[in-house]
Chain A
């Protein structure tokens, strides 16, 4: 049981490049979320999914796309990276809604730098 895994751990992009941050969980959780963490700002919700095929926007969705084709995987896509997207990205999952009585489990994070 690996929990929530994220790849890569580190990534450097040039402005305008695209990439996909991978997130997978092996706990059969329906709910998955992506957050970004910036200094002095805590975590901010980017997108979330309540099950395969269902996604919705969070607080800061602009510049990011998501899809959820399987229960296990929830990739985050940057179509045209910008320096403002330099951040640490966390994926999380839970068996119920993120703010429910259930526990939300976080991955170890991906540190992204956009030059």
Chain B
């Protein structure tokens, strides 16, 4: 079945530590890939996106993500986490046959310890 999987429901990291959030997708072809962040009580904000080309994508707020076709993965990374990064993070794909139809993972909640 077609799906977007974020294996980690909740992750806790210390401020200043590195972060990696996992995302795997299962579709017939490589979809377009996105990472969004949602702060408490807010709407979603786009962090970065991948369509083609360089498999390492840079985004806002110091985030980057790497697309690995062989693993059907699009993991989000940040070298040094700040307390303000505490939020929920969603991986999403746009279906290749209908770019209006976006599918989201269930989300990973990030807690940052002081």
> Once bound together, how far apart are the Cα atoms of A90 and B41, in whole Å?
11
Q: Is the CB of A99 within 8 A of B95?
A: yes
Find out whether the CB atom of B43 lies under 8 angstroms from the CB atom of A48.
no
What's the nearest-Cβ distance from chain B to residue A8, in Å? 15
Measured in the bound complex, the distance between the Cα atoms of B4 and A97 in whole Å is: 20
For chain A, residues 33 to 80, give those with C-beta under 8 angstroms from any C-beta of chain B. Answer: 33, 35, 40-45, 48, 50, 56, 58-59
Query: How big is the A interface, by class?
Result: 20 to 34
Q: Kindly state whether residue B42 has any CB partner on chain A within 8 Å.
A: yes
**CB pair B43 A108 closer than 8 Å:** yes
A84 sits at the interface (CB 8 A): no
Chain A residues lying within 8 Å of B22, measured Cβ to Cβ, are none
- Residues of B at the A interface (CB closer than 8 Å) are 4, 6, 9, 31-32, 34, 41-46, 49, 51, 90, 92-95, 99-107
Instruction: Tell whether, in the assembled complex, residue B43 and residue A99 are in contact, meaning their CB atoms are under 8 Å apart.
Output: no
Contact partners of A92 in chain B: CB under 8 A? 43-44
Interchain Cβ contacts under 8 Å between A and B, 27 examples: A31-B100, A33-B100, A33-B102, A42-B90, A42-B104, A42-B105, A42-B106, A43-B44, A43-B104, A44-B104, A45-B101, A45-B103, A56-B100, A90-B44, A97-B99, A98-B102, A99-B32, A99-B34, A99-B100, A99-B101, A100-B99, A103-B46, A104-B46, A104-B102, A106-B44, A106-B45, A108-B43
Q: Return the contact of B94 from the options A98, A103, A107 (Cβ within 8 A).
A: A98
Which residues on B sit within 8 Å (CB–CB) of A58? 101
- Contact call B104/A90, Cβ cutoff below 8 A: no
